[in-house]
Amino acid sequence: MISSRLLRSTLLAALLGWPWLARAEDKSGQEVYNQTCIVCHHGGLLGAPKLSDGKRWSRLVKEGVDDLIPAALGGIRQMPAKGGNPNLSDLEVARAVVWMINQHGAQAGEPGEAAVKGWRAKADRQKKR
Ligand code: HEC
């Protein structure tokens, strides 16, 4: 028989431990930008659109997340997939793109699970071309 004490500690671990663990690899868009994307997008390395370049980003904002996020996930021309950081989850990369375009007047919200799956599928389709 499972002791009630074991049951209680298992439940506690499920309630407290799991969300806490999940958060450890669940970075905000700004954190992802500061850790990875900044390398190229701050100074314009390899021709990356500088985050401070309002003109270029306003054009990208118009392209929309359905173009930008698959490009960031799968890579585009000189930009490697996920900015070269495979440890990032798809959601984290999507959040970074959202954060970047929101610096330029977009009002995109937290990406939903279904949307992230769709962007991943598009990125994989584009890679095969
Ligand atoms: C190694 C350099 C590098 C890193 C790191 C990098 N990028 Fe880029 N990024 C580029 C370059 C270069 C381009 C321009 C690609 C082009 O249009 O030719 C670009 C373009 C983009 C675009 C525009 C895509 C489009 O459709 O035109 C987005 C969005 C983007 N990056 C997001 C990110 C995000 C988010 C990160 C961090 C996870 C990141 N980048 C990290 C180099 C980088």
- Using CA atoms, how far apart are residues 15 and 4, in angstroms rounded to an integer? 16
pLDDT at 6: 59
Q: Contact, 33 vs 100, CB < 8 A? A: yes
Residue ranges, the chain, pLDDT below 70: 1-25, 128-129
Which amino acid residue places its CA nearest to atom 42 of ligand 1? 79
Amino acid at position 12, single letter: L
Specify the CATH number of the domain 27-128: 1.10.760.10
pLDDT at 94: 98
Ligand 1 pocket, residues with Cβ under 6 angstroms = 32, 36-37, 39-41, 45-49, 60, 63, 67-68, 71-72, 76-80, 82-84, 93, 96-97
pLDDT (tens digit, 9 = 90+) per residue, 45-71? 999 999 999 999 999 999 999 999 999
Residue 127 token pair: 């890679």
- Using CA atoms, how far apart are residues 89 and 36, in angstroms rounded to an integer? 13
Helix (H, G, I), strand (E, B) or coil at 33: helix
Q: Contact, 71 vs 79, CB < 8 A? A: yes
- CA 122–ligand 1 middle distance (angstroms): 16
Q: What pTM value is reported for the model?
A: 0.86
